[in-house]
């Protein structure tokens, strides 16, 4: 009786699955992103760009790769290219809060306030009242957009949300910062706050902030 095939089969079963097959696309893409981040930290931006592109070519759902590539494009002032990266990323990873936030930043810098507002509304709805660093990042981007678009009531609503996050986290610095801005804007806006809230860009974002506030946090 030939026992070699049986012995060979047993030997293969003893080998860990990861060793029996090539690295998965996800792990390979993650490694390329790490290499890109190192190159970027070393000032080798062109190499970093290529590593991020390679990661996306291997794994089209690598959220991190899209984020890093889009952010680096934006850093290099390649804003159209950066927005395109986020477009593709959101087509592949449609529930990514970070990709919506990244595209909103690029669109704001490009002066596309309505589009940026839409991205931030989606980000707020997806993130919810988590009182997390990511929610705070979205709120701060709303503040930046509101300031540039001169939407005082939207900015006021965002500072109030930031204040709530500060209390939730016990962050005294955030509480102080948010209180100062909310108080100043509250005095400036005065009794017309609810009326101005429905004007132009402000309405959808204010509704998103109010919705999040009602859900808690």
Residues 100-159 pLDDT 10s: 999 999 999 999 999 999 999 999 999 999 999 999 999 999 999 999 999 999 999 999
pLDDT of residue 23: 65
In 3-state terms, what secondary structure has residue 103?
helix
Q: What percent of the chain has pLDDT over 70?
A: 80
Q: What percent of the chain has pLDDT over 90?
A: 73
Residue 197 · residue 209 · CB < 8 Å: no
Identify the band that residue 214 occupies on the pLDDT scale cut at 50, 70 and 90. Answer: low
CA distance 31 to 204: 39
Nearest CA-CA partner of 102 in 81, 116, 114: 116
Handedness of CA 207, 209, 212, 217 (dihedral sign): negative
**For residue range 4-17, what is the model confidence (pLDDT) as tens digits?**
443 333 333 343 44
Q: What average pLDDT score do residues 22-30 get? A: 83
Q: What average pLDDT score do residues 156-171 get? A: 97
Q: What single string gives the DSSP state of each residue in 180-215?
A: HHHHHHHHHHGGGHHHHTTSTTHHHHHHHHHHHHHH
In terms of Cβ atoms closer than 10 Å to its own Cβ (0-12, 13-18, 19+), residue 194 is exposed
């Amino acid at each position: 009786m030939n026992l070699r095939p049986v012995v060979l089969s047993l030997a293969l079963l003893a080998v860990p699955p990861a060793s029996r097959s090539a690295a998965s696309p996800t792990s390979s893409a993650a490694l390329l992103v790490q290499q890109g981040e190192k190159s970027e930290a070393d000032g080798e931006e062109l190499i970093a760009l290529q590593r991020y592109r390679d990661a996306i070519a291997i794994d089209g759902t690598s959220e991190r790769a899209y984020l890093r590539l889009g952010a680096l494009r934006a850093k290099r002032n390649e804003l159209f290219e950066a927005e395109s990266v986020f477009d593709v990323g959101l087509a592949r990873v449609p529930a990514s809060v970070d990709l919506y936030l990244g595209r909103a930043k690029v669109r704001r810098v490009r002066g596309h306030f309505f589009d940026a507002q839409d991205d931030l509304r989606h980000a707020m709805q997806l993130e919810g009242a988590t009182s997390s660093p990511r929610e705070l990042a979205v709120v701060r981007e709303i503040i930046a957009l509101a300031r540039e678009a001169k939407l005082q009531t939207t900015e006021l609503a965002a500072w109030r949300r930031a204040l709530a996050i500060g209390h939730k986290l016990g962050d005294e610095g955030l509480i102080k910062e948010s209180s100062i801005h909310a108080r100043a804007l509250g005095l400036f806006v005065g009794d017309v706050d609810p009326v101005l809230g429905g004007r132009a860009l402000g309405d959808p974002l204010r509704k998103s902030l109010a919705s999040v506030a009602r859900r808690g946090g």
